């Protein structure tokens, strides 16, 4: 692994918290992600299932975790299964985790090869009456490709039809929404790497540069700093592309007078940063561009102040809608009288600000969580207001990563330049 080792106590604590929610006489199963094929004999880079990583710290395919708090044999209360390895496999594929390696990383003392799973699982199921199965229940999940967890669910229900079944997804949403200090440290590190990339590209951006050249500079800085790369597909959108919310072609040439919207973040130890900055390609905002930019920045500053324990996403978004309306009226994009008479279910500001302002951030960029849950200390949210004026080719989004604490919001990306004047100064020096 490229990232520095993580203390196994993080994963021990995570499993301890999960066990508190499991019913008596139950066994919980978590599978790693598959290695996804391309074509011929090609494969995509492996990305671990984030629930499994959260509970074990194991970053290798063909891994299974069993948690059985009431197992008769104490050594079976936590079991890790990893893929078999030997010297011949290491010659072809490189060094894989040994049982000793896996125990050290995870804090789990009982480690078997994955080939032993069926035998041991049947033994534990016979002792217990309930099986917890893991599924991806993210509201925006694409479940077209069947996962190992999904295949296992089908097999398990066929093999053990008389057992009771429960879902671990609601439990993982609850646990993962509040980050521990060790997790916050990993997210902060990903943010610090992202800062280095942003400062690097400020000296590169100019008319004539291609969007993919700027992306290359970002990825270089990520890899140089122990990141495995981008936490998500970067958006490097100049000109009219800045008004396309999920623009990822990154194949246009930057033109003098254009804005360049860049939404990118480093992944570090599987944890994500998620940052957006919008800059003038030639190093100077026009008056109109700066007016819009500062309007977005004012909305963001107000929004960050609302990321406090006790608030809710519903109340938060409602308040931000009012603030955005006032800014859009001041920019002559909305009419005050029309706003006063607008339908509540179709606010007019949505023409220029059509996406949500915040989402959970952690092991996943759009991390798991309950949108109806009251904000708590330890939650990490993005804060990303934007204004998109397509007929003026002005798309501006500003995004920071915010930790909620009992003493007020903490900006994990506070060192990434954000004020318009500072950005201009850095680009022209």
CATH superfamily of 9-176: Creatinase/prolidase N-terminal domain (3.40.350.10)
CATH class of 181-427: alpha beta
CA–CA gap between residue 275 and residue 277 (Å, rounded): 7
CA–CA gap between residue 86 and residue 97 (Å, rounded): 10
- Write down the pLDDT at residue 140: 87
pLDDT, one tens digit per residue, over 347-372 is 999 999 999 999 999 999 999 999 99
pLDDT band at 429 (very low <50, low <70, confident <90, very high): confident
- Write down the pLDDT at residue 173: 97
DSSP assignment of 185-221 equals: HHHHHHHHHHHHHHHHHHTT--TT-BHHHHHHHHHHH
3-state secondary structure 45-66: CCCCCHHHHHHHCCCCCCCEEE
* Token output for 307: 């990321």
pLDDT band at 127 (very low <50, low <70, confident <90, very high): very high
From its phi and psi, is residue 40 left (phi > 0), alpha (psi between -120 and 50) or beta? left
Contact 186, 269 (CB under 8 A): yes
pLDDT band at 56 (very low <50, low <70, confident <90, very high): very high
CA–CA gap between residue 302 and residue 402 (Å, rounded): 13
* Token output for 201: 């590209």
Lay out the sheet containing 275-280: strands in order across. 235-238, 259-264, 275-280
CA–CA gap between residue 165 and residue 163 (Å, rounded): 6
- Stated pTM of the model: 0.96
Domain boundaries, the chain: 9-176, 181-427
Q: Which residues are catalytic?
A: 41, 246, 263, 274, 355, 359, 366, 384, 388, 397, 399
CA–CA gap between residue 241 and residue 149 (Å, rounded): 38
From its phi and psi, is residue 324 left (phi > 0), alpha (psi between -120 and 50) or beta? alpha
pLDDT, one tens digit per residue, over 73-82 is 999 999 999 9
* Token output for 235: 């958006």
pLDDT, one tens digit per residue, over 297-323 is 999 999 999 999 999 999 999 999 999
400-403 and 410-411 strand pairing: antiparallel
pLDDT tops 90 at residue 188 = yes
- Write down the pLDDT at residue 196: 98
Any idea which residue has 């606010």 for tokens? Answer: 347
Q: Measuring CA to CA, which residue among 383, 382, 380 is closest to residue 403?
A: 380
CA–CA gap between residue 298 and residue 291 (Å, rounded): 11
- Write down the pLDDT at residue 256: 98
* Token output for 153: 């669910």
- Write down the pLDDT at residue 86: 83
266-268 and 259-264 strand pairing: unpaired
pLDDT, one tens digit per residue, over 23-45 is 999 999 999 999 999 999 999 99
- Write down the pLDDT at residue 29: 98
- Write down the pLDDT at residue 1: 83
> Helices (H), strands (E): how many in the chain?
13, 17
pLDDT tops 90 at residue 141 = no
Q: Measuring CA to CA, which residue among 129, 134, 17 is closest to residue 66?
A: 134
pLDDT band at 67 (very low <50, low <70, confident <90, very high): very high
Mean pLDDT computed over 56-72: 97
Non-local CB neighbours of 327 within 8 Å, separated by 6+ positions: 295, 296, 298, 299, 387
pLDDT tops 90 at residue 94 = no
- Write down the pLDDT at residue 89: 81
CA–CA gap between residue 51 and residue 31 (Å, rounded): 9
CA–CA gap between residue 62 and residue 368 (Å, rounded): 23
Q: Tell me the chain's radius of gyration from C-alpha atoms.
A: 24
State what percent of residues in the chain have pLDDT above 90.
94
- Write down the pLDDT at residue 365: 97
Any idea which residue has 């092991």 for tokens? Answer: 363
- Write down the pLDDT at residue 208: 98
pLDDT, one tens digit per residue, over 206-261 is 999 999 999 999 999 999 999 999 999 999 999 999 999 999 999 999 999 999 99
- Write down the pLDDT at residue 85: 87
pLDDT band at 17 (very low <50, low <70, confident <90, very high): very high
pLDDT tops 90 at residue 142 = no
Mean pLDDT computed over 146-150: 94
- Write down the pLDDT at residue 392: 98
CA–CA gap between residue 56 and residue 67 (Å, rounded): 11
């Amino acid at each position: 692994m490229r990232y520095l080792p993580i203390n196994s106590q993080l994963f021990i604590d995570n499993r301890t918290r999960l066990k508190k929610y499991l019913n008596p006489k139950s066994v919980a199963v978590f599978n790693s992600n598959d290695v996804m094929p391309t074509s011929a004999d090609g494969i995509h880079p492996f990305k671990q299932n984030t629930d499994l990583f959260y509970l074990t710290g194991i970053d290798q395919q063909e891994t299974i975790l069993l948690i059985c708090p009431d197992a008769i044999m104490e050594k079976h209360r936590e079991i890790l299964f990893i893929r078999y390895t030997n010297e011949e496999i290491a010659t072809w594929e490189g060094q894989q985790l040994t049982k000793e390696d896996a125990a050290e990383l995870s804090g789990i003392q009982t480690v078997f090869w994955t080939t032993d799973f069926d035998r041991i699982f049947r033994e534990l199921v016979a002792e217990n009456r309930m099986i917890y199965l893991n599924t991806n229940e993210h509201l925006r999940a694409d479940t077209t490709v069947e996962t190992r967890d999904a295949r296992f669910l089908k097999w398990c229900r066929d093999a053990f039809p008389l057992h009771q079944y429960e879902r671990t997804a609601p439990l993982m949403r609850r646990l993962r929404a509040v980050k521990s200090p060790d997790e916050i440290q990993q997210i902060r590190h990903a943010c610090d790497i992202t800062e280095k990339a942003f400062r690097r590209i400020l000296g590169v951006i100019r008319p004539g540069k291609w969007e993919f050249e700027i992306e290359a500079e970002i990825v270089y800085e990520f890899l140089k700093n122990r990141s495995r790369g981008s936490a998500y597909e970067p958006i490097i959108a100049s000109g009219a592309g800045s008004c396309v919310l999920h623009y990822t072609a990154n194949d246009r040439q930057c033109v003098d007078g254009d804005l360049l919207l860049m939404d990118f973040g480093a992944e570090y130890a599987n944890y994500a940063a998620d940052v957006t900055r919008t800059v003038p390609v030639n190093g100077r905002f026009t008056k109109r561009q700066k007016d819009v930019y500062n309007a977005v920045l004012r909305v963001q500053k107000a929004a960050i102040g609302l990321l406090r324990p006790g608030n809710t996403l519903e109340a938060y978004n409602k308040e931000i809608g009012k603030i955005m309306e006032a800014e859009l009226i001041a920019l002559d994009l909305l009419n005050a009288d029309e706003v006063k008479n607008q339908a509540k279910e179709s606010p007019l500001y949505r023409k220029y600000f059509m996406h949500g302002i915040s989402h959970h951030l952690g092991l996943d960029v759009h991390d798991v969580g309950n949108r109806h849950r009251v904000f708590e200390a330890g939650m990490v949210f993005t804060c990303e207001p934007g204004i998109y004026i397509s007929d003026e080719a002005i798309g501006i989004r500003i995004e920071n990563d915010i930790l909620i604490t009992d003493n007020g919001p903490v900006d994990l990306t506070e060192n990434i330049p954000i004020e318009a004047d500072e950005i201009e100064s850095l680009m022209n020096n």
